[in-house]
Structure 1
Amino acid sequence: MHSRLVAGITVMAVLGFAGGVSAKVSEAEAERLNNELTPIGAERKGNTSGSIPEWTGGMTTLPEGWSPGQVEINPFPEDEPLFVITADNVDIYRDKLSAGHIRMLEQYGPEFVMPVYQTRRTAAFPEDVYEKSRENALTAELLSNGNGVRDTIMTSPFPIPENGLEVIWNHILRYRGEELSFRSASATPQVSGSYNQVVNQYDYFFAYSRRGADLEDIDNKIFYLKTDTISPSSLAGTITLVHETLDQIRSPRLAWRYDAGSRRLRRSPNLAYETDLPNASSLRSVDQKDMYNGAPNQYDWELKGKREMFVPYNAYKLHDGDVRPDDVIRPQHINQQLARYELHRVWVVEAKLRTGISHIYDRRVFYVDEDSWQILATEEYGRDGELWRVSEAHNISYYSEPVFWTTMEMTYDLKAERYYVDGLDSGFPAYDFNPGFRGNQFSASAARRAARR
C-alpha cells in the first residue's frame, strides 16, 4: 500500500473528513496509471499465489455466437466451481469473506452456499474513458466537506484515492455509458418464497458521461432517469423522474412522481436517504439503489484499505435470457446455484452516521471492486449496532457498450428473513446503450406529456 494512501487513511481515522484533506495527484503519481496501475487505478499484477491473475485489458474480445441486439451470453460456459463455500466449511475461508456473507452462510445454511469460480478480470471500458480517468487524477478535487467534486468529467474522479469519500465518489460517478434503456422486474418474496413482480422500464441519460461535455454544460447533473411502471395493473402508469445532481447540498436531487390514480405529476422531495425505496416492502432504502447513491453528507467515511475477498462477479448465469424469475427466487435468498463468486481485490470503506443525524443505518460497510469502482457487496447495521441487512450486486461486462455494471441486486433482511431483488430481466430485450435520447426528453413537462398519452 503506497504512502499517500496510508497517510490518507491515517487522517481519516483520526479526523473523519472535514474538508481540505483531498487533493489532485502529481504528474508522477498519475504516471502510475500507465505502469503498475490500470487506467482506472487497480493493481495490474495478480496476487502472489496466482489466484488473482494479472489484468490484461479486461474483456475486449466478444464471445462467439453473440451479435448486437442480443442479450449477453456466458463467455465462460465451460467454467465449473473450483469449490463451494458452505456453513460447514466457512471457517476455512473466513479471512476472505465479508461479515455479511459469513452471517448469510451461518443463518441460511445449508441452502445458502457460495460457488467460487476461477477469477476473471473482465472489467473493461472505452479508451477515451481511460484517458479521462488519467485527466481526472490530475485535476479532480472534493468540494468542501466532500459533498461534491470539481474539475472532473465522464468517469470516476479519483483513480488513486486517498480516503473513503473519494472511493464512494468513484462509485457514484463511474462510467456506465452515455445513455441506456432497459426493462426489468423486482420482487420482495415472502418467507415462503411466494412473490409478485413489479416490472419497470428504465431510461437513463448520463449527462456527466456524455462525450464532449464539461461541468458547465451539464448544469450540476450526473444523470436523468425516468422509470415507467408496466405491471402489475394496480401500479401501471406510475412514472418517476429523477434529476441526479453532482453537489446535492448546493442543489438537491430533483424528483417527481406521477400517480396514474390522481393523474398528477408531483414533486417528491423526500426521495432520498433513508426513505423506503418504492415497491420494496420496506426492505431497502432509497440510498441503497445502485448499492449506494446520493449525497454522502450523513456519514463519516473511513477507508480501511484493500482486501482479497470472494465477491459476486461475472453473473452471466443470472443474466441468461432463458433463466426465469421462478428459477431465481427461493425462500429467504436467491437460487445460489445461479450465483458466481470470484476472488478479487476490493477497497473496504466504512461509513459511520454523523452525530445528530437520523438514518435507519448507524453503520455501513462497502466492498468496492478495484477494477471497476462498482460496489459489489455491503453490510448495513441498525441503530442497535447489530448487522441488519446484507446487499449484493451481481455484475457482468456488457458487450454493446464496454461497461461493467449490475445485472441483479438484492438486499437481504436478516431479521425479517425476507429480501428484495431487482434485475429479473429474463424475457425482456437486451439493454440498449444507444437509444438516441435527448436531454429535453427528461424534463418535468416531457414526463407530464408522456403520462397523459
Structure 2
Amino acid sequence: MGTIRSVFLSFSLVGLAMNQANAALSDVEVERLGQDLTPVGAEKLGNGDDIPAWRGGLKKDESLKPGEFHPDPFRADQPLFRITAANIDQHQERLSHGQQVLLKTFPDLFFEVYPSRRSASYPDYVYQAVKDNASSAELLKYGSGVTGATMSSPFPMPQNGLEVLWNHTLRFRGHSFSFSDYTASVLKSGSRSDTLRDHQYFFNYSVPGISPEDLDNKIFFLKRKTLAPSNLAGRIALVHETLDQVRSPRKSWLYVPGQRRLRRTPDLSYDSPDESTNSVRTVDQVDMYNGAPDYYNWKLIGKQELYIPYNAYKLHQGDLTNDEILLEKHINSGLLRYEPHRVWVIEATLRVGFDHKYAKRRYYVDEDSWSIVVAEEYSESGELLQVTEAHTINFYDIQLVYPTMEVTYDLEDGGYFAEGLDNERGSTLNFSESYTKRNFSTGTVRREARR
C-alpha cells in the first residue's frame, strides 16, 4: 500500500509553457469536486484499511475566543504503534527517505502512529472558490505564477508538479491574523538561542470578492517585529509578497533601530540565507517552500500513503514550555502525532545554468489541505542535507489547516531550527484581525518605529 503510484508523466518548465492552455478543467471534471473527490480535490474514499473516508472534517467551533489554544478533539486516541530505528524496516514503505534518515540519525527519536483522522475542513465559500478556480486557473508562462484564481488552491486536480506546488503556495490561510512566537536555533552541542517576534499577516489573495485582475500581483503582506533578544529588539521587517516573482520580485524592507531608517533589503529570495533562522534555512524554505519556482524543473511523481505529522494538538497547548518541547538533538517525540494519509509527491531538480544551494528537493503534500508536510533538500552529489516537518492542526475556529510548528533538521551541521513556539505566549494565531493593505505600507512602519 505504501508504494508510490507514478500515474503522471514528468513535466519540465518548457513543456508546461507549451501546454498551459489545457490547465483549466472541463465542466464534467469540475463536477467531481464534492462527489467522488472532496471539495478541494482529495480522494473522498479511504483505502479500505487504515485511511478512512473524508466525511467533512472538523466542524467550526465558534465558542473559541480569538487566539485561544485549541482543545485536542482526538485526545482519547491511543497510539497504534511506535516506529524507531530498531523496527524501521517494517514501516519503510510508509516513511519518506528523510524520515528514515532522521530515525537512524537520532536513536532516541520515535514516531508514534495514531488512527488517521481526516480533520481538514474549510468554509463553504472557500470550497466554492476552489471550484471556480478549477474552471479558470492556468499557469503563467514557465509556471512563474497563476492566472484566473483567488482565495485558495487553483488546481484541485493537478496534472503536473508545478500545479501541486501552486496549490500549496496559494492554499487558504485565512484573511488576516497575528501571533507572537519564539523561534529556536539548537546547535549540535545542545546550546540554544531563542528569538521572540510579533507577526501580522494580510492575505490579499483571499480577500472575499476580489477578482484575479484586482490582485495587482500581490499574494500577501507581512510585518514582523523582533522583541528579543535585546541586541535585535526593535527590528521590523516588512514584506510585500508577489505572485509572479519572475516578473516582479517580492519587495522587502528592514528597520534597524540603530540606523533609524527603513531600507530596502535586496536578494530576499531563492537560496539567500534566512537570517531569522540563524541561516539554517534559505529564504525559499519559509513555509516549506515559497517564491518563484523557475530555478527548478518540477516533476509530479504521484501519490503515496505516508505516516505524516498531523493533528498536532498535543504540541499545540498553552501549558507547555519551550524547554519541554526542545530537546538537545530534536523536539520531544512524546508530543508528536503521526497518522497514515495520502500525499502528493513532487520533486524539483535544479535547471541547467542555475545555481542554488539545493540541487534536488522533494516535497510531500497532504491531499486534504494542499499543505507541504515533509520537505527534503539534497546536494548536487545526492546527499540529504535537511529534513523539515510541518506539524499541522485544523484551526477549527476558522476551519483551515496550518502548521502549529515547523522543524528543520540540518544533517550537515547536526543542529535544528524550530518556529511556531507560541506555547509560552498565552495565545496562538488570532484570526479576528481586520487588516488592510494600509497597515503594511512603508509609511505605517516608519510611524510605528518612531513610537
TM-score (ref. length: structure 1): 0.95
Q: Residue 97 of structure 1 aligns with which residue?
A: 95
Matches within 5 A, 1:45-444: 45-49=45-49, 51-60=50-59, 62=61, 67-109=65-107, 111-428=108-425, 429-444=427-442
**Could you tell me how far 1:19 is from its partner in structure 2?**
4.2
- Post-superposition shift, 1:281? 2.1
Measured on the aligned residues, the alpha-carbon RMSD in Å equals 1.7
**How big is each residue's C-alpha offset from its partner over 1:353-387, in whole Å with a ceiling of 9 and x where there is no partner?**
11111110000000000000000001100122211
Taking structure 1 as reference, are residues 261 and 67 closer, same or farther at Cα in structure 2, changes over 3 Å only?
closer
For residue 359 of structure 1, what is the amino acid of its counterpart? H
Give the drift of 1:13: 7.0
Shift of the 224–13 alpha-carbon distance from structure 1 to 2, 3 Å rule, reads closer
Partner SS for 1:34: coil
1:23 alignment partner AA: A
Q: Is the 8 A contact 1:398 1:405 kept in 2?
A: yes
Letter in 2 for 1:269: P
CA distance in 1, matches of 2:392, 2:111: 15
Q: In the TM superposition, what is the alpha-carbon distance from 1:68 to its structure 2 partner?
A: 4.9
Identify unmatched segments of 5+ residues in structure 1. none
Q: Secondary structure at the match of 2:192?
A: coil
Q: Which moved more, 1:204-213 or 1:75-84?
A: 75-84
- Provide the rounded CA distance (Å) in 2 between the counterparts of 1:294 and 1:13: 18
> Contact conserved, 1:16 with 1:302, CA < 8 A, in 2?
no
Larger RCO: 1 or 2 (CA < 8 Å, sep 6+): 2
Contact 1:379 1:389 in 2 (8 A): yes
Q: Which amino acid aligns with 2:27?
A: E
Output the amino acid matched with 1:45: L
Structure 2 SS opposite 1:186: strand
More moved, 17-26 vs 126-135: 17-26
- Maintained 8 Å contact 1:19/1:146: no
Retained in 2: the 8 A contact 1:119–1:343? yes
Q: What SS does the aligned partner of 2:215 have?
A: coil
Which secondary structure state, in structure 2, belongs to the residue aligned with residue 450 of structure 1?
helix
Listed as ranges, the gaps of 5+ residues in structure 2 are none
- The Cα offsets for residues 23-64 of structure 1, whole Å up to 9 and x where unpaired, read as 101000011102100000000001021x0001000001549x
Deviates more, 1:170-179 or 1:249-258: 249-258
Query: Secondary structure of 1:440's partner?
Result: helix
Percent sequence identity over aligned pairs: 48
Cα separation, 1, equivalents of 2:317 and 2:184? 18
Find the aligned partners of 2:395 and 2:337 in 1 and give their Cα distance: 16
| 1:44 corresponds to | 44
- Alpha-carbon deviations, 1:404-437, whole Å to 9, x = none? 0011001101121101110111122232112121
> Are the equivalent residues in 1 in contact too, given 2:322–2:424 (CA < 8 A)?
no
What SS does the aligned partner of 2:343 have? Answer: strand
When the two structures are superposed, what TM-score results if normalisation uses the length of structure 2? 0.96
Distance 2:232 2:123 in 1: 38
1:300 partner amino acid: N
Q: Secondary structure at the match of 1:130?
A: helix
Aligned to 1:451: 449
Q: Distance in 2 between matches of 1:240 and 1:403?
A: 26
Structure 2 letter corresponding to 1:34: G
How far did 1:317 drift? 1.2
Contact 1:352 1:362 in 2 (8 A): yes
Contact 1:203 1:226 (8 Å CA) reproduced: yes
User: Take 2:17 and 2:255, find their aligned partners in 1: how far apart are those partners?
Assistant: 39
